[in-house]
Amino acid sequence: MNTFAFMIHPIEIGDIARKFGPLGKLPPRLVESLFKYAPPLKVSQITGVRSKHAQTEGWFVACPITSRLMIDLPEEYVIKKIIKTGKLAQKLGAKILGLGAFTSVVGDAGITIDKNLDIAVTTGNSYTVATAVEGAREAAALMGHNLKRCHAVVVGATGSIGRVCASLLARDVHALTLVAREKTRLEELAHRITYESGVAPRITSDIRHALHNAQIVITVTSAVDTIIGAEDLMPGAVVCDVSRPRNVSREVAEKRNDVLVIEGGVVEVPGQVNFNFNFGFPPGMSYACMAETMMLSMEGRYESFSLGRDMSLQQVEEISALARKHGFKLAGFRSFERAVTREQIARIRENARHALNTPRAK
């Protein structure tokens, strides 16, 4: 039997209280501090993943550390906790382990974890890139944008996901801006993209300046707090937020009816999948990183696929081909845990048109 496991962790303190109700009565920071000493958990069994070619089943396993603690605690401590959770996946019978959320970015992005386990490991980043760019392209078209005339911005461009997203977008858009903190790495990436595509990206560490005239934004940083607010975006902007925790503030949804924010990497899983755990998605849908783990298992490819920070376009194209083979596909659009219909997108598009044609008050 093809088997897999996928590692999750509490994104924020409230996630612990929702899973373990009585803990919600304690002070949140106390709960967070206590929970980090808990052992790894088997959360649920996943069944019903099936295509016309193969099937698989697996488990959610949880590493009991919040996103904030994964940043604040010593890296060695965090990696040991992740490895211990991976050992639980091995014990359950998984043959490949997917790393979710911050477990995929701490340290060397899965390489050390892979070396300390007897099963294959993937971050799922290759299919996350594929679906993020596909989603951004489709959403931009629905918003009436011609990609060849668009200015696109990639926030977190020097990360493993951001680099490949930038390379893919460079093939389609008129102008590209890369945003990250380290100037040297930005310059190296910009030079490579220019060589590959002929597009000469701008580079900056100033997010707000980069965003003020961007029609398309893909944001994929490891920031714990939101970094994009309601005043940062132009009317009609399409923002694909791949990060967890989110990079885009919820106030964008509350205050800007002329901007489309979508979640990156929401995928329809083939078969009659039952996750036996509510992680905020409708039935039958998963994150792209989960989907990559499943499709590698269905192929019997128990190899470490997306690891480290040097992901290639070839990997993205290869995993996209596996997705087509087994019937994994982009599952429409979601924004802040809710589905976004084409009718809603049409209203956002009209609001943006009106905002762009209305002179701003001085």
CA distance linking residue 72 with residue 151, whole number of Å: 35
Question: Domain check: are 302 and 352 in the same one?
Answer: no
How many domains does the structure of the chain reveal?
Answer: 2
Question: Domain check: are 292 and 340 in the same one?
Answer: no
CA nearest to 96, candidates 306, 327, 328: 306
Question: Domain check: are 209 and 275 in the same one?
Answer: no
Question: Domain check: are 254 and 281 in the same one?
Answer: no
Identify whether 286 is part of a domain: yes
Question: Domain check: are 307 and 347 in the same one?
Answer: no
CA distance linking residue 83 with residue 111, whole number of Å: 11
CA geometry: angle at 176 spanning 171 and 179, to 5°? 130
Peptide bond into 40 cis (omega under 30): no
Question: Domain check: are 191 and 74 in the same one?
Answer: no
Token readout for 66 is 């919040």
CA distance linking residue 272 with residue 278, whole number of Å: 15
Question: Domain check: are 47 and 103 in the same one?
Answer: yes
Rounded mean pLDDT for each run of 10 residues along the chain, 362 residues in total? 94 64 64 78 96 97 89 92 97 97 88 96 93 93 95 93 92 95 94 92 95 95 87 96 86 94 87 92 91 97 90 91 96 83 94 85 40
CATH, residue 213: 3.40.50.720
Question: Domain check: are 141 and 241 in the same one?
Answer: yes
Question: Domain check: are 215 and 347 in the same one?
Answer: yes
Half-sphere exposure of 318 (CA within 13 A, CB side): 13
DSSP assigned state of 242: -
Look at residue 225 in the predicted model and tell me its pLDDT: 84
CA distance linking residue 242 with residue 328, whole number of Å: 18
Identify whether 89 is part of a domain: yes
Identify whether 78 is part of a domain: yes
Question: Domain check: are 78 and 24 in the same one?
Answer: yes
CA distance linking residue 293 with residue 6, whole number of Å: 7
The number of helices, as runs of H, and strands, as runs of E, in the chain is 13, 17
Question: Domain check: are 287 and 317 in the same one?
Answer: yes
Q: Show the domain range for 292.
A: 3-126+269-328
Half-sphere exposure of 349 (CA within 13 A, CB side): 14
Question: Domain check: are 229 and 350 in the same one?
Answer: yes
Burial class (CB in 10 A: 0-12, 13-18, 19+), 342: exposed
CA distance linking residue 137 with residue 140, whole number of Å: 5
Look at residue 103 in the predicted model and tell me its pLDDT: 92
Look at residue 88 in the predicted model and tell me its pLDDT: 98
Identify whether 243 is part of a domain: yes
Look at residue 361 in the predicted model and tell me its pLDDT: 42
CA nearest to 215, candidates 176, 168, 159: 176
Identify whether 276 is part of a domain: yes
Identify whether 362 is part of a domain: no
Look at residue 279 in the predicted model and tell me its pLDDT: 83
